[in-house]
C-alpha cells in the first residue's frame, strides 16, 4: 500500500513510518518540524537527542533495505504543495499526525492557542480539500484524542451515541467537552471531517487515542540514529513518561491534585498496530468511523504506585508528591470509555506491567546525566489568563 504519513518526524510518526515501511508499505513522510521549532522556542529538549529526519531516513533505508521518501511541507500554510504531493503520490492511505500535540502549550497564552488551532484545524481543512481535488477515494486515518470527550458522567461510546429524546431517536456524534484549546482543536477537526464524509463521501477513521507512553520499538532498536524522541518536560512529556524520568533521577513523582483523575492509556507499539489495523480495514465511502484507541484506564495515583513499585525493585528512592493541579480538570469523577472496534479487528493489548516499566526505566538510566530536573515542575496554569 502507498501510505502518506503527515507528521512523520514526531513521537508517533517516526516509529510508525519505520513500522509500516518494514511491513512492506511504500511510505512517504511529510513534516514541517513545527514540534522541533516549539522545542527550541520553549527551551525543552528530548532526552535522547533524536537525529535529523534526513539522517533518520538515510539510516533506516541503509539498515532495513527499504526506502522511505519525504517532503518538507507545512500543510497548514502551503496548500499548493500539499495538493501536489497528493496528486503525485496518489496514496491508498493517509495517516494524519501533523498537529501541535501539547495541551499545556496551547494554554500558554493567546498566540499559542491560535498557533495550535491554526496549525491543526487549517491543516486538516487543507487536507480535506486536497483529498477532494486529487484522491477522493483515499482512506484518511486521523489522530484524534480521548480528551475530546472530557470526563462525562456517562459511559463514553465509540464516537457515536444513540439518543432517544422526547419520543424521537437518532445516532449522533458523542457530545464533546475538551479540556484545553489543543483538545478543542481536535474536536473542530472531527466536526470538519464528519461533514466531509457526510457531504462528499470521504472515508475517514478518527483515532481517539489515549495518553501514549513508551521509549522504543522493534525498529528503533535497530540503530542509535533511529531513536524515538522522548520528552519528560511539562510541554511535550506525557504523564507516564514523566513519572519514569522523575523516578530515574530520584525526584518525587509530580501527581497533579489528588491524583484521582482517570485517563485512558496506550503503549507506543500498540499505537503502531492500531494504525496498521485501520489502514488494512479502511472505512467505507461516506463513513466517519471512530475508534477509541486505548488499552486500559487508570487513575494518576495508580500510575504513580506502579512506577514507584517498579523503581523500588531497582533500589530507586521513589516518592510521590501531590502538587497543586495547574489544570482545570475533574478529580473524583466517573470515567468509563468503550473500546471494542480495535480488539475486534485484532488488537492484542499491551498493559502497563511491572516488566514494561522496568524496561523503560532501564532505557532511561543511560540518559540520566541529560535529565534537567528543573523541567519537572509544571509552570503552565489553565487559569492564569
Ligand atoms: N499529570 C500529572 N502529573 C504530571 C503530568 C500530568 O498528574 O506530571 C496528569 C494531568 O493532570 C492529566 C493526566 O496526567 O490528568 C494526563 O496528562 P498528560 O500530560 O499525560 O496528557 P494530556 O495533556 O491529556 O495530553 C496527552 C498528549 C496529547 C493527547 C492526550 C490524550 O500530549 O497529544 O491527545 O494525551 S488524552 O489525555 O486522552 O486526551
Q: State the Cα–Cα distance between residues 376 and 34, nearest whole angstrom.
A: 23
The predicted structure's pLDDT at residue 43: 97
Would you give the distance in Å from CA 283 to the centre of its chain?
A: 20
Mean pLDDT of 243-272: 98
Quick one: which of 98, 105, 139, 104 has its CA closest to 120? 98
The predicted structure's pLDDT at residue 322: 98
pLDDT > 90: percent of the chain? 99
In this structure, which topology does domain 2-375 adopt according to CATH? Answer: Rossmann fold (3.40.50)
Mean pLDDT of 112-140: 98
The predicted structure's pLDDT at residue 260: 98
Q: What is the pLDDT of residues 62-79, one digit of tens each?
A: 999 999 999 999 999 999
Mean pLDDT of 207-235: 98
- Give every CB contact of residue 55 below 8 A, 6+ residues apart in sequence: 225
Asked whether the predicted pLDDT for residue 385 surpasses 80, the reply is: no
Smallest CA separation from ligand 1 atom 8, residue: 254
The pLDDT-based confidence of 132 (bands split at 50, 70, 90) is very high
| Residue ranges covered by each domain of the chain | 2-375
Tell me whether residue 221 is exposed, middle or buried, using C-beta atoms within 10 angstroms of its C-beta: 0 to 12, 13 to 18, 19 or more.
exposed
The pLDDT-based confidence of 49 (bands split at 50, 70, 90) is confident
The pTM (predicted TM-score) of the whole model is: 0.98
Residue 41 in grid coordinates: 522556542
Q: What is the pLDDT of residues 51-64, one digit of tens each?
A: 999 999 999 999 99
Asked whether the predicted pLDDT for residue 91 surpasses 80, the reply is: yes
Task: For CA atoms 134, 136, 144, 14, give the dihedral sign.
Answer: negative
Q: Ligand 1 centroid vs 35 CA: distance in angstroms?
A: 17
What DSSP character marks residue 122? I
The predicted structure's pLDDT at residue 347: 98
Is 254 one of the catalytic residues?
Answer: no
CA atoms within 13 A on the CB side of 99: 32
Mean pLDDT of 109-117: 98
Q: State the Cα–Cα distance between residues 209 and 194, nearest whole angstrom.
A: 17
Asked whether the predicted pLDDT for residue 112 surpasses 80, the reply is: yes
Instruction: Give me the chain's average pLDDT, please.
Output: 98
Q: State the Cα–Cα distance between residues 205 and 283, nearest whole angstrom.
A: 6
Q: State the Cα–Cα distance between residues 37 and 151, nearest whole angstrom.
A: 32
pLDDT > 70: percent of the chain? 100
Q: Ligand 1 centroid vs 20 CA: distance in angstroms?
A: 27
| 294 pocket-lining for ligand 1 (C-beta < 6 Å) | no
Asked whether the predicted pLDDT for residue 327 surpasses 90, the reply is: yes
Mean pLDDT of 257-282: 98
- Give every CB contact of residue 110 below 8 A, 6+ residues apart in sequence: 385
Is 373 one of the catalytic residues?
Answer: no
| 253 pocket-lining for ligand 1 (C-beta < 6 Å) | no
Q: Which atom of ligand 1 is nearest to the CA of 210?
A: 38
Q: State the Cα–Cα distance between residues 221 and 32, nearest whole angstrom.
A: 25
Asked whether the predicted pLDDT for residue 305 surpasses 90, the reply is: yes
List own/partner pairs for 362-366 with CB under 8 A and 24 or more apart.
362/314, 363/215, 363/216, 364/47, 364/215, 364/230, 364/244, 364/245, 364/248, 365/248
If you write DSSP's letter for every residue of 197-231 in order, what string do you get?
Answer: HHHH--EEEEEEE-EEE-S--TTGGG-GGGPPP--
Amino acid at each position: 500500500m502507498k501510505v502518506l504519513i503527515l507528521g512523520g518526524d514526531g513521537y508517533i510518526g517516526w516509529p510508525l513510518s519505520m513500522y509500516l515501511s518494514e511491513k512492506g508499505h511504500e511510505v512517504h513522510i511529510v513534516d514541517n518540524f513545527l514540534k522541533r521549532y516549539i522545542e527550541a522556542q520553549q527551551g525543552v529538549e528530548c532526552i535522547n537527542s533524536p537525529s535529523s529526519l534526513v539522517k533518520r531516513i538515510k539510516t533506516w533505508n541503509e539498515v532495513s533495505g527499504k526506502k522511505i521518501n519525504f517532503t518538507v511541507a507545512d500543510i497548514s500554510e502551503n496548500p499548493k504543495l500539499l495538493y501536489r504531493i497528493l496528486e503525485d503520490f496518489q496514496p491508498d492511505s493517509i495517516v494524519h499526525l501533523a498537529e501541535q500535540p501539547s495541551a499545556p502549550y496551547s494554554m500558554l497564552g493567546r498566540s499559542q492557542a491560535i498557533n495550535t488551532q491554526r496549525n491543526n484545524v487549517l491543516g486538516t481543512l487543507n487536507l480535506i480539500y486536497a483529498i477532494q481535488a486529487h484522491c477522493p477515494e483515499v482512506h484518511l486515518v486521523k489522530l484524534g484524542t480521548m480528551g475530546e470527550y472530557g470526563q462525562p458522567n456517562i459511559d463514553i461510546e465509540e464516537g457515536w451515541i444513540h439518543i432517544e429524546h422526547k419520543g424521537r431517536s437518532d445516532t449522533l456524534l458523542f457530545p464533546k467537552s475538551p479540556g484545553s484549546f489543543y483538545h478543542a482543536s481536535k474536536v473542530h477537526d472531527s466536526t470538519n471531517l464528519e461533514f466531509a464524509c457526510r457531504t462528499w463521501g470521504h472515508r475517514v477513521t478518527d483515532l481517539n487515542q489515549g495518553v501514549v507512553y513508551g521509549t522504543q520499538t522493534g525498529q528503533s532498536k535497530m540503530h542509535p540514529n533511529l531513536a524515538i524522541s522522548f520528552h519528560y518536560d511539562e510541554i511535550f512529556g506525557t504523564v507516564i513518561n514523566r513519572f519514569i524520568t522523575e523516578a530515574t533521577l530520584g525526584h518525587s513523582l509530580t501527581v497533579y491534585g489528588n491524583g484521582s483523575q482517570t485517563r485512558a492509556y496506550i503503549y507506543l507499539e500498540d499505537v503502531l498496530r492500531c494504525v496498521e489495523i485501520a489502514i488494512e480495514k479502511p472505512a467505507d465511502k461516506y463513513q466517519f468511523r471512530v475508534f477509541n484507541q486505548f488499552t486500559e484506564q487508570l487513575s494518576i495515583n495508580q500510575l504513580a504506585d506502579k512506577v514507584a513499585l517498579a523503581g523500588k525493585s531497582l533500589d530507586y528512592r521513589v516518592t510521590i508528591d501531590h502538587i497543586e493541579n495547574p489544570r482545570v480538570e475533574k478529580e473524583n469523577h466517573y470515567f468509563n470509555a468503550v473500546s471494542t472496534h480495535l480488539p475486534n479487528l485484532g488488537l492484542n493489548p499491551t498493559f502497563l506491567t511491572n516488566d514494561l516499566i522496568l524496561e523503560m526505566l532501564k532505557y532511561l538510566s543511560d540518559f540520566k546525566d541529560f535529565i534537567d530536573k528543573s523541567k519537572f515542575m509544571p509552570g503552565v496554569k489553565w487559569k492564569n489568563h
